[in-house]
Structure 1
Amino acid sequence: MTSTKALRLEGTFTALVTPFVSQTKAIDFPSLRRIVDDQIARGINGLLSMGSTGEFCTVTHDEHDKVNAAVIEYAAGRVPVIAGTGSNSTEEAIRLTQAAKDAGATACLVAAPYYNKPSQRGMYEHFKAVQDVGLPVILYCNSARSGATMTMETVVALAKLPHVFGWKEATASLAQASNVAARTDLAIFAGDDVLTLPIMAIGGVGVTSVLSNIAPEKVLAITDAMRRGDYAAARAAHFESVRLCGSKDY
């Protein structure tokens, strides 16, 4: 099986919100198109659809597929698109991932199976089955939201699979991110805006950002500066981002 680990994704990837029509609760696809176009016009490096910010666990399976496909269509190759394809059902995660691959996704973000709390062996088999689809997989274990945990031994074992490409650090743990960086070759993304600079300082490639939905330039200022090695500028932009994230308006 040919590996997809040579893929390079770097910088700020906006974890897109999913707009809804208030009267009908249907997905507002015209607004979604405008959001995608605006993000790209403002210089974003890539997009993430159907992540936690996109409310992947509260839409129907059909809506999930359609949002992923729509973002890929609207991006039209201008930036890479990471499609969220997580589910606590292995078969559903496989189906979502295959649909995203067929639609042209660059990679997929796969959440650890939530609620069911599988064993570490079960966790490994879940991700292994999903990566067999052949789309580059970014592992995502948000324990605070999902109730699922993944040991470092499981992460290391998964990192050896040909299509497990990345790790989204969503636990706010620099110790865990450092272990992933030290023990695997996974591309590490910050999963929390206030940790973008620290994660990139230990070798992370960027962030899946919530803040960039409203202020992409603020987040890009951090990732662009880190990528060019301007640490003073990155630190100044980081502190501004931290203040924004802590404000009542965020």
Structure 2
Amino acid sequence: MAHRLLPLAVLATVAAASACGGSGGSGGGTVPGPARAAPAGTGYTSDQLGQALLQQVTGYWRGEPDSGEYGSLKALRNAAQVRQEATLDKPKCADAQTGGRRQVAADVPTALVTFVKGDGQTATETLMGVADADAEKQVEARVPPGCLTFRTRLGDKWAEHRITETPRGDIGNGSRTVGVATTIGAQRMNTWYVVFQGRHYLGSVSVFGPNATRAEAESLARASVAQAHRILGR
């Protein structure tokens, strides 16, 4: 079984359209998943990745981190459920909800943490232990043609999404940055997320809120790379 590499904040916006609520983050009180040996070709366990997560982000409160297999993490399971419940106006654009990103195996070692501001803006960091070739595929992925705009419905409420893609970046060993502007009635929310490659791991940082910016997302991604390098040593 495989799961999409989900931009949690986008799915949280979709959930908000039907009053489902939730920030898409790990929140408090999650229990770390079972520790396991690192799969061949990756080199890291979920525990090691958890230790490499950012410890603080200026202006944000740090939630309880979660680690374990990708498919076992509560935040990712909740996001996947929202995605399954949402109706798209362009069924062929289902991959646009994940920024065109490829699937991630459910047993990939993963660690995740969400930071929250007083105004409700969130920043989520995810680290996954994957082979370098798989990480490169994620960085090179693109939104399907004709899917830079789409609509999603939960219940009787629609949300409109407009995606902005940028050229390949230089964060870590290569990165991609994607912005999603979501409109729900009179409310507009922004999501910026950065997917970046390290040695034997893939990282993702997303910032979600009305004032979320590309600059902040990329700054946090660079901080994530530096922290991972200090802890993992490469």
Name the one with the larger strand percent.
Answer: 2
Normalising by structure 2, report the TM-score: 0.32
Name the one with the larger helix percent.
Answer: 1
Using CA pairs under 8 Å that are at least 6 residues apart, name the structure with larger relative contact order, 1 or 2: 2
Normalising by structure 1, report the TM-score: 0.30
Which structure: larger Rg? 1
